[in-house]
Structure 1
Amino acid sequence: MTQTYYRTCTLCEAMCGLKFEVNGDVIESIRGDKEDPFSRGHLCAKGPELKNLHEDKDRLKKPIKRTADGWVQVTWEEALTDIAKRLFEIQSKYGFDSVAIYSGNPTVHNYGSMLMGQRFANRLKSKNKFSATSVDQLPHQLLSYLMFGHQLLVPIPDIDRTNFFLILGGNPFASNGSLMSVPDVKKRLKDIQERGGKYVVVDPRRTETANHADEHLFIRPNTDVFFLLAFIHVLYRDGLVKPSDLYSIKESESLRSLSSQFPPEKVSGVTGIPAETIERVATEFAKTEGAVCYGRVGVSTQTFGSLCQWLINSINILTGNMDSVGGAMFTLPAVDMIDPKSAMRSSPGSFDTFRSRVRGLPEFSDELPVSVLAEEIVTEGEGRIRALVTSAGNPVLSTPNGSGLEKALEDLEFMVSVDIYLNETTKYANYILPPTSSLEHDHYDLVFNVFAVRNVARYSKPIFDPEEGALHDWEIFSDLTKRIELLRTGKPLPKELIRTKLSPESIIEHALKTGPYGSKGGSETGMSLELLKNSDHGVDLGPLKPCFPERLCTQDKKIRLFPEEIRKETDRLSDKFEEMRSLSGDRLKFLLIGRRHLRNNNSWMHNMPKLMTGKNRCTLLIHPDDASSLGLSDSEEVLVKSRVSSVSIPVEISDEMMRGIVSMPHGFGHGKKGIGLEVANRFAGVSLNDLTDDRAIDEFSGNAAFSGTPVSIHKI
């Protein structure tokens, strides 16, 4: 008999509602949930592939161990006992920091894994904690911490009410929104135009989003910081700044002084954007009621990624569009991780309280930048990483100089991966521990409700029972935590206590009741887990509302417009500007940028057959004039060289690229020996991150600087 289930899609940040038709253990169909108040029936090509992800024959279901004769299946008891023992022994021999942990992107789509994985990481007592945060979003959270007092107080574009949307380095048509959870973003952007507004895209490539924009401005990679400073220069010069009691006049004067050094006519040659265009866009933006500036991966992953996010926030503040309808606003989720009185409060953050051992890069929120992971493994000395735990990650493909990291993994004494696949990273593990499928456990979006363009809440029940003996992610981490604690204390632990009694569901239940919409939080909404379980389509909690100064987490309830911590970083701008000016006419070198595709999510959807159909997506996009100067024809294989490595890739000639700039998609590079991904191996491609440089970083934060990698291109 066919049954209907409603769930949230967990494959990207958009949180689309899905309707499942299931007959026994067979998924007959997956469609958009038209009654979901947030996604309104929308779904992209990825949503229906939850069926193939669940049924994928390459998905691991039992623990496996690497031996001299290959991989063998082992029991959970054998695996967990040996893993705890090995981790304990390594830390006993080398110290706590000898064991590192890396959490991949899918972790934040799994609240149980987040909660218990964090507990496990904390109990390891190691400073060597890494995650995908420092791949592409660290500047967002760092500047939220420095300016607003909390790393999760991230400004969200009020896309449903804005009249001018300025997008830098973001491609929501392909990403479905990033640090901006927004289902059906195409319709929402079109709605801006239909109500008389506009949206403008600033990007080195005419992206899918830019194709439908009112205006697209080509910009040279790594120069966004100068465009933004020139934009602010115009605001101050032309009296377009709106004073506010929320920031100090002294800090505003410091920003005015800095921006005065970069007028539009000075930065035009470096950025590639005419001075009159910068002036016009800045003026139109400032004079529009309800405007918002938003920058995503393209601006975060460059030399001045942190300064870019600071200046984007500053533009919204100076024009009166921060915490304002139609501008950049802040969520009030049902599970509030910002309120210090919340049962689920998270750390406001920390910065530079310690540094990495080898290169001396700063921590943020108790994590080190992933760009230092390889060197921390291979460099001898006290504190050297000798063991690694990965969770739902594939850093060999997703972090800079991936081939360098791959070589480093061979140097580990021990590695364990909590993952459903034998991929380019987990192949180096001694054990792979596969958790249940996403359809075999419940779901609540702990993180993406913090970044949503509207306050909503939705709980998803499991569709299928796990196979006998299978463990959820959170059970794996909870079990390992208890076993390691037992080895450390030497006290016996009753078998019945090996599994924690405090489940993620019970934690969420308490957080909902005591949250801003819960009865114990004083709200008439009566939010509770029971309410959500009885609300198949989720609960709409309304549009974003102004919340400053009450929600500010700074001591004085003021915005830190010019944080003291970034002053030294601004001192580097003049020298960098002169360097960029000298390079802007160099036609011998190209700058390499990445690109997204709607049918991918980084590297982890490449084993889905329906998502990999169509023409080859792993190509080098190049402008026709550049191709002509090199004597290249379409589809011709070329050799692309960077400081760290080289790859061979077919050319795709397109005028969507700015001259001098080339583009490759990220997440490819499959087909290596020993990888258990049949479909991905057929569409192997090459890895962008075999070219990106782990030495290229946003120096202030340590975030990877992928955007604008210098490369040379050679005929084969």
Structure 2
Amino acid sequence: MLAPLVCRQPAAPGGPVSATPPAPPAPPAPARTALRICPLCEATCGLTLTIEGTRVTGARGDRDDVFSRGFICPKGAAFGELDADPDRLTTPLVRGADGELHEAGWDEAFDAVAAGLRPLVERYGPQALGVVLGNPNVHTMAGALYPPVLLQTLRTRNLFTASTLDQMPKHVSSGLLFGDPLAIAVPDLDRTDHLLLLGANPLESNGSLCTAPDFPGRLKALRARGGTLVVVDPRRTRTARLADRHLAIRPGTDALLLAALAHVLLAEKLTAPGRLEEHTDKLAELAAALAPFTPEAAAGACDVPAEEIRTLARQLAAARTAAVYGRIGSCTVAHGTLANWLVDVLNVLTGNLDRPGGVLFPLPAAGPRPRPAGPGRGFALGRWHSRVSGHPEAKSELPAAALAEEIDTPGEGRIRALVAIAANPVLSAPDGHRLDAALAGLDFMVSVDPYLNETSRHAHVVLPPPPPAQSAHHDFAFNAFAIRNQVRYTRPAVPLADGLMDECEIHARLILAASGLHGADPRSVDDLVIATTLGKAVADPASPVHGRDPHALAALLTGENGPERRLDLMLRLGPYGDGFGTDPDGLTLDRLLAAPHGIDLGPLTPRLPGILRTTTGRIDLLPAPIAADLPRLRAALTPDPAAFLLVGRRHLRSNNSWLHNVPALTGGTNRCTLQIHPDDAAPLGITDGTRVRVTADGGSVEAPAELTDTLRPGVVSLPHGWGHDRPGTRLSVAAADPGANVNQLLDGTRMDPLSGTAVLNGFPVTLLPLPAAAPLTPA
């Protein structure tokens, strides 16, 4: 049982009341503006903030931003409200001997971290510690720069991230195809003639693994120039309504449809890989492997007519340029890795991989320089396995769905301590009830989080980062998926408030406390990273600083602090960098600071074969793990006769579980309702507002029905990220309208075996309408 949060309150004032009239209030500070890159979704739009004193009072799109050109969505417009959320923690919390969380100073908090983590690691070894990284990490500089250092220091293999709840199939398929799990080709939206979208709703999500401000405007421009947009989705989403053609596919069958499309291209000799052919292996083996997936064989399972599949394949082949793009709906399903593999197989077969107007590999400014073409180390799966169920690692991560069992299953090697950074897996992972109980049984937990939420309420120490206006920003992650090469950096728009600690310093001090170096200067973490990076660079014959003195190079770095010096280092060594003087016109932090709206680095360009890191130096069209999983896909040609399949849905004014406490971003369409087709609702006696109990493998939840014909019959939809009804949190707005946790319907056993990604879409459920007087069961 969690103890209630105890907050220290100031003593009431006492003494006589002065007869002196109060001084007149000081005049308000004049309003000013400041630039900030929006951290609330993957579009990374530039914002112009209006600031009065230290408060953000308005936000609009930055019309001079080199990438977003003034575009803004409701999330960006609500930046000030999020920034000033009164429920944000402003001081660390430490659990005392009474079992309650108390406000504490920063030194006390890090003393508690060191005292809680190090003895456990020293007694039980590094595998007694788990690390959980949530989605917001990729939206901050600190989340990009410091967790890798923490993991290297701790040497634990128990890493769990949001990737196995959304995008890991794309990483695995890219790793198997190209040898690098981060080599992800993105659609060239502004130049393509034909775009096929699967399981993506960018008019609501603003894009995913495709960083594109004003995705809606770009899709409209595609159609205005005579291009074709095809959307495959069981829901008639806002994106689908914009399309030339919408295929309301049966949920979870994306891989079957894609396999049938590839089959048509191969059988009808419509393939035209062009220059890709000299860089590709196993084309003949691919044709044999896909032979069973004829349009006729796939039609029944997909519920898409065979002739429609043939027409779609022929149009894809005939387009002057084309791009196939699949996202969350094609990842969080039973065959997620196969679906993402087939996305790029189609791009290869049509010659559109690494081609303007097709899909291309970005070249981010703070990323590595291109390497000479040739064989690489390749990509391997299952280098180790989880302790309890033996799940293979993927990209050094274990499935988030396995976290609870790794904590609550007794035995040597169980997780006893947890570091959670910007993570709320109680809501975002399957079977939150089990994970909730497991977290309560940990010996120690530290959470870096601005909120006391459903997960951080279990922590022994909570370290709150400052509001986003008080943090600098550069998109290390999303520039690697951007549809145009560019670079932007914004310093804090508002000075760090008294009593708060910069997020980068929080991470650096956490690393020191967890590694046995508690009390050392946090700047030493950045100094060590810089020294290590330069040491490798000067020893690398391909580096522009090969043979130079690393200490002299470090002295050349500029920046006001360690994170800025590290950014300067990455820019100088990056593909557009000055190479510490070897290219006088190259990029440095100083040049970037002189361009407050960013620097445009040009459109994406072909990068093959240099991008390839397979052991052959060629594209592996039929990797062995993929071939071994195809029999499972063949079995799916006979569909499960479930009455109802459940899918999630995106909201433009939401992002997973972390924006439900902002009043401006709740209400309207952003509600936790069970959408159901009227033809399905009528026989069950369900009308708008009827409370419905939804049941699946992991249990039941209840939600009000919303009748809509935007769903295909046999499909129901609940959004992700809700369920804010647990005690002990400090989320007043979210708790007032908690919604139902859709992930509680799952017990974690449904998983894509190659990537370890939880199946969050396309699973069977049963429905039971409840009488109006029935008590609501907590989600």
Alignment equivalent of 1:412, drawn from 442, 455, 469: 442
Alignment equivalent of 2:174, drawn from 144, 165, 169: 144
Say whether residues 1:690 and 2:690 are aligned partners. no
TM-score (norm 2): 0.87
Superposed CA deviations along residues 246-303 of structure 1, whole A, max 9, x for unmatched, are 4577611121112210111111111010111100011001100110000000011111
Letter in 2 for 1:66: R
Alignment equivalent of 1:428, drawn from 454, 458, 462: 458
2:290 is aligned to 259
Superposed CA deviations along residues 373-425 of structure 1, whole A, max 9, x for unmatched, are 01101111111011111001111111122222112212211111000000011
1:14 is aligned to 43
Paired residues of 1:517 and 1:523 also in contact (CA < 8 A):
no
Paired residues of 1:8 and 1:15 also in contact (CA < 8 A):
yes
Larger radius of gyration: 2
Q: Per-residue deviation at 1:472?
A: 2.4
Alignment equivalent of 1:283, drawn from 314, 318, 323: 314
1:268 is aligned to 299
Letter in 2 for 1:483: A
1:669 is aligned to 723
- Where structure 1 has 5 or more consecutive residues not aligned to the other structure, the ranges are none
CA–CA separation in structure 2 for the residues paired with 1:280 and 1:441: 51
Q: Per-residue deviation at 1:523?
A: 5.5
CA–CA separation in structure 2 for the residues paired with 1:428 and 1:494: 28
CA–CA separation in structure 2 for the residues paired with 1:467 and 1:500: 23
Paired residues of 2:258 and 2:339 also in contact (CA < 8 A):
yes
User: Taking structure 1 as reference, are residues 670 and 496 closer, same or farther at Cα in structure 2, changes over 3 Å only?
Assistant: closer
How many residue pairs are counted as aligned between the two chains? 702
1:61 is aligned to 90
Q: Which moved more, 1:17-26 or 1:552-561?
A: 552-561
User: Taking structure 1 as reference, are residues 422 and 433 closer, same or farther at Cα in structure 2, changes over 3 Å only?
Assistant: same
Paired residues of 1:159 and 1:326 also in contact (CA < 8 A):
yes
Paired residues of 1:151 and 1:348 also in contact (CA < 8 A):
no
Map 1:141-180 → 2, pairs under 5 A: 141-180=171-210
Paired residues of 2:193 and 2:228 also in contact (CA < 8 A):
yes
User: Taking structure 1 as reference, are residues 616 and 600 closer, same or farther at Cα in structure 2, changes over 3 Å only?
Assistant: closer
Superposed CA deviations along residues 469-493 of structure 1, whole A, max 9, x for unmatched, are 4222322222132234336xxxx96
Paired residues of 2:281 and 2:619 also in contact (CA < 8 A):
no
User: Taking structure 1 as reference, are residues 348 and 301 closer, same or farther at Cα in structure 2, changes over 3 Å only?
Assistant: same
2:26 is aligned to none
Aligned residue for 2:701, secondary structure, equals strand
User: Taking structure 1 as reference, are residues 499 and 127 closer, same or farther at Cα in structure 2, changes over 3 Å only?
Assistant: closer
User: Taking structure 1 as reference, are residues 117 and 380 closer, same or farther at Cα in structure 2, changes over 3 Å only?
Assistant: same
Q: Per-residue deviation at 1:26?
A: 2.5
1:640 is aligned to 694
2:18 is aligned to none
CA–CA separation in structure 2 for the residues paired with 1:17 and 1:552: 32
Superposed CA deviations along residues 630-679 of structure 1, whole A, max 9, x for unmatched, are 12111110111111110111111111111111000001111321110111
Superposed CA deviations along residues 561-616 of structure 1, whole A, max 9, x for unmatched, are 111222211122222323x2xx24x4xx3111100000001111111111113256
1:537 is aligned to 597
Aligned residue for 2:481, secondary structure, equals coil
Say whether residues 1:509 and 2:568 are aligned partners. yes
1:572 is aligned to 632
Letter in 2 for 1:378: D
User: Taking structure 1 as reference, are residues 340 and 366 closer, same or farther at Cα in structure 2, changes over 3 Å only?
Assistant: farther
Aligned residue for 1:79, secondary structure, equals helix
User: Taking structure 1 as reference, are residues 528 and 45 closer, same or farther at Cα in structure 2, changes over 3 Å only?
Assistant: same
1:304 is aligned to 335
Q: Per-residue deviation at 1:104?
A: 0.4
Map 1:469-488 → 2, pairs under 5 A: 469-486=499-516
Letter in 2 for 1:517: Y
CA RMSD of aligned residues (A): 2.0
Letter in 1 for 2:645: L
CA–CA separation in structure 1 for the residues paired with 2:709 and 2:285: 41
User: Taking structure 1 as reference, are residues 494 and 72 closer, same or farther at Cα in structure 2, changes over 3 Å only?
Assistant: closer
Paired residues of 2:144 and 2:477 also in contact (CA < 8 A):
no
Q: Per-residue deviation at 1:551?
A: 2.5
Q: Per-residue deviation at 1:702?
A: 0.8
User: Taking structure 1 as reference, are residues 535 and 653 closer, same or farther at Cα in structure 2, changes over 3 Å only?
Assistant: same
User: Taking structure 1 as reference, are residues 514 and 654 closer, same or farther at Cα in structure 2, changes over 3 Å only?
Assistant: same
Superposed CA deviations along residues 506-544 of structure 1, whole A, max 9, x for unmatched, are 111011122111222865752111111111111111111
Paired residues of 2:377 and 2:614 also in contact (CA < 8 A):
no
Say whether residues 1:652 and 2:706 are aligned partners. yes
User: Taking structure 1 as reference, are residues 564 and 525 closer, same or farther at Cα in structure 2, changes over 3 Å only?
Assistant: farther
Alignment equivalent of 1:115, drawn from 133, 145, 155: 145
CA–CA separation in structure 2 for the residues paired with 1:413 and 1:443: 35
User: Taking structure 1 as reference, are residues 190 and 500 closer, same or farther at Cα in structure 2, changes over 3 Å only?
Assistant: closer
CA–CA separation in structure 1 for the residues paired with 2:167 and 2:51: 37
Letter in 2 for 1:332: L
Paired residues of 2:508 and 2:522 also in contact (CA < 8 A):
no
1:385 is aligned to 415
Alignment equivalent of 1:552, drawn from 612, 625, 629: 612
CA–CA separation in structure 1 for the residues paired with 2:281 and 2:587: 43
Q: Percent identity?
A: 42
Aligned residue for 1:647, secondary structure, equals strand
Aligned residue for 1:363, secondary structure, equals coil
2:345 is aligned to 314
CA–CA separation in structure 2 for the residues paired with 1:82 and 1:181: 39
CA–CA separation in structure 2 for the residues paired with 1:220 and 1:613: 29
- Where structure 2 has 5 or more consecutive residues not aligned to the other structure, the ranges are 1-29, 531-561, 771-779
Aligned residue for 1:81, secondary structure, equals helix
Map 1:72-111 → 2, pairs under 5 A: 72-111=102-141
CA–CA separation in structure 1 for the residues paired with 2:73 and 2:273: 42
2:223 is aligned to 193
Paired residues of 1:158 and 1:327 also in contact (CA < 8 A):
yes
CA–CA separation in structure 2 for the residues paired with 1:141 and 1:616: 30
CA–CA separation in structure 1 for the residues paired with 2:564 and 2:519: 24
Superposed CA deviations along residues 132-167 of structure 1, whole A, max 9, x for unmatched, are 111110011111111112111101000000111000
Superposed CA deviations along residues 318-358 of structure 1, whole A, max 9, x for unmatched, are 000000111111111111247469xxxx9986521101111
Paired residues of 2:45 and 2:213 also in contact (CA < 8 A):
yes
Q: Per-residue deviation at 1:494?
A: 5.7
Q: Per-residue deviation at 1:173?
A: 0.5
